[in-house]
Amino acid sequence: MPKKRTLPYIILGLLAQNREMNGRQITNQFQNEIGEFWKAAHSQIYPELKKMTAEGLIVKSTKADNDKEIYYSITAAGQAMLMQWIKEPLTDLPVSQDMFSLKMFFIDDKADYELKRLIEEEISLLETQLKHLQEREKLLFGGQEPKKAFGHFLILQRAIARLQSQLDWLKSLNI
């Protein structure tokens, strides 16, 4: 039994929201909110789009004036597969491959300078990301609960709350 794949579902989800996207537009999605939870390079996406087309989950088309850009749309079969995926129960929590925690884990001595250094670096990274997400929230929703894209709104709220609480915790340490 092969490993459970995720990337095809993300692509289906994007195409369910947009009706038509090219490979580059899909790739760019991983630079914002989705990038908090999944990364994929264009070199992985283009072959995946071909595979999904062959499987009948998406269809491609080109514009009359520009045959360089290839647009994809979701099919009924793709829609069905996306819904089935969302309905599958959550079986386990994610493993966040967190270098900060991993390195900390191996520092035995409270007085080790590296401990302090790691905490400062992590605070800096978290603050930058928090600012970025707060700007995204303002840009996309402006503090208002939206009619559509409600899930998107929620995960952005959640990511912000999570960053904020991590920062609070780190700053409360007396190292």
Partner DNA sequence: ACTGCCATGTAATTAGTTACATGATTAT
Partner DNA sequence: ATAATCATGTAACTAATTACATGGCAGT
**Residues at the interface with a copy of itself (CB under 8 A):** 6, 9-10, 13, 16-17, 33-39, 82, 85-87, 89-90, 92-110, 114-115, 118, 121-122, 125-126, 129, 148-152, 154-155, 158-159, 161-162, 165-166, 169, 173
The correct pick among 19, 35, 37, 42 for binding DNA (CB under 7 A) is: 42
Residues belonging to the chain = 175
String of contacts with DNA for each residue 118-147, x by CB under 7 A? ------------------------------
Core vs surface per residue 76-100: b (16+ CB within 10 A) or e: eebeebbeebeeeeeeeeeeeeeeb
Q: Toward DNA, which CB reaches closer, 32 or 157?
A: 32
Q: Toward a copy of itself, which CB reaches closer, 35 or 47?
A: 35
Helix (H) or strand (E) holding 21: strand 21-22
CA 25 to chain centre: 14
3-state secondary structure of 59: strand
